[in-house]
Amino acid sequence: MNSLKKVACVVVAIAMIAGFAVSVQAKEWKGWNIHVAGYPNTIAMDKFAELLSQKSGGKMTLKMYHAGTLGSQPDAIEQVRLGGLEIANFSLGPIGPIVPEANVVSLPFIFKNTDHVWRVLEGKAGDMINAGLAKKGLISLAWYDGGSRSFYNSKKPIKTPADVVGLKVRVMNNDLYSGMISALGGNPSPMAFSEVYQSLKTGVVDGAENNWPSYESTGHYEVAPFYSLSQHLIIPETLCINADVYNKLSANDQKILKEAAQESALLQRKLWKERAKASETKVMAGGVKFNTIPDKSAFQAAMKPVYDKFLAQNPSLKPLVKLIQNTP
């Protein structure tokens, strides 16, 4: 072989190796998250991206976009389903209208507490919700804590359902939440998370409902200082991936993905507990007028039409609702 041929062979070999390297280095995934820097979910999603790259030796990489910069939650859900985005942390709330099985968690007062949520999700009910998500193009890799949601508003403490009458309350996009507010005599106003602060401030709505960390991180407490501990919803959140992307991965890559997601979820749940306390302390110091509701039975009783309508529209979900209610 003359030296020119040798050089040519080396060049071809290098090109082949480089080409191979490019083909195994999959494209960088895009991840959506609604929350701001420092929020438990934000830290946990960043950790997930870091673990993914570490555990896969740089083969699976994820670039996170926080604070809803890639769009509203309902839009992002569509994007992950269609493959425009690969990964996200979603509340099951706005997923409910698309995935009926996932909507059962949005029936008010269905969960007793957060531990009950984990027991449900780790059992058969969790499998049914996962199957429903998968049918609609979303693979749930792990569950994040979404805390419990309570009412807050700019006008008065809410102690009984009568206090909700006439109040204009922002809800997430889900008919169950609109039904919930109507059943209490209020006026529901479905709206994107990013618009709530301004709407509370200008009086477009009187109130909203959320957990301590979101009430605090959004600054809603500054413009709607009456927080009433109704805890009417405990909505879990999913760390999920587009189903086509997931199904094309090797079994080993799927395993890595799930391990990274589980580790990230454990971190999120630990940070969540800390942040819930810290946020509560911060808003109280900021002048929030807080009240508990020792007897919630009137609120629970008022939800009967919400359950009746949901079950009439989704008769096949009766067993799932019963399964959750009967899970100790």
Instruction: Compute, in degrees rounded to 10, the torsion defined by CA atoms 37, 38, 42, 47.
Output: 120
How far is residue 101's CA from residue 81's CA, in Å, rounded to a whole number?
Answer: 16
DSSP 148-183: EEEEEESS----SGGGGTT-EEEE-S-HHHHHHHHH
Residue 178 sits at the vertex; the CA angle it makes with 327 and 42, to the nearest 5 degrees, is: 70
- Check if the beta carbon of residue 188 is closer than 8 Å to that of residue 169: yes
Nearest distance from C-beta of residue 261 to ligand GTR, angstroms: 17
Kindly state whether residue 227 participates in binding ligand GTR, applying the rule CB under 6 A.
Answer: no
Kindly state whether residue 268 participates in binding ligand GTR, applying the rule CB under 6 A.
Answer: no
Kindly state whether residue 230 participates in binding ligand GTR, applying the rule CB under 6 A.
Answer: no
Kindly state whether residue 174 participates in binding ligand GTR, applying the rule CB under 6 A.
Answer: no
| Largest pairwise CA distance in the chain | 94
Stated as kind and residue range, the H or E segment containing 288 is none
In angstroms, what is the C-alpha Rg of the chain?
Answer: 23
Nearest distance from C-beta of residue 35 to ligand GTR, angstroms: 7
Among 114, 130, 189, 214, binds ligand GTR (CB under 6 A): 214
- Check if the beta carbon of residue 151 is closer than 8 Å to that of residue 185: no
Decide: helix, strand or coil at residue 226: strand
Nearest distance from C-beta of residue 108 to ligand GTR, angstroms: 15
- Check if the beta carbon of residue 92 is closer than 8 Å to that of residue 102: yes
Kindly state whether residue 188 participates in binding ligand GTR, applying the rule CB under 6 A.
Answer: no
Region near ligand GTR per CB under 6 A, out of 19-27, 42-50, 159-167, 207-215: 207-215
Among 107, 172, 183, 267, binds ligand GTR (CB under 6 A): 172
Residue 100, amino acid: P
Site string for ligand GTR, 55-94 (x = CB under 6 A): ------------------x-----------------x-x-
How far is residue 1's CA from residue 231's CA, in Å, rounded to a whole number?
Answer: 80
Residue 304 sits at the vertex; the CA angle it makes with 301 and 305, to the nearest 5 degrees, is: 135
Phi, psi of 12 (to 5 degrees): -60, -45
Region near ligand GTR per CB under 6 A, out of 49-57, 209-217, 278-286, 297-305: 209-217
Q: Which residue is nearest to ligand GTR (CB)?
A: 193
Among 178, 210, 242, 279, binds ligand GTR (CB under 6 A): 210
Nearest distance from C-beta of residue 64 to ligand GTR, angstroms: 15
Binding-site residue total for ligand GTR (CB under 6 A)? 11
Nearest distance from C-beta of residue 241 to ligand GTR, angstroms: 17
Nearest distance from C-beta of residue 18 to ligand GTR, angstroms: 42
Q: Which residue has the tokens 């809803």?
A: 68
Kindly state whether residue 211 participates in binding ligand GTR, applying the rule CB under 6 A.
Answer: yes
Nearest distance from C-beta of residue 150 to ligand GTR, angstroms: 11
Nearest distance from C-beta of residue 76 to ligand GTR, angstroms: 10
Kindly state whether residue 193 participates in binding ligand GTR, applying the rule CB under 6 A.
Answer: yes
- Check if the beta carbon of residue 119 is closer than 8 Å to that of residue 219: no
The residue ranges that bind ligand GTR (CB under 6 A) are: 34, 73, 91, 93, 146, 172, 193, 210-211, 214, 237
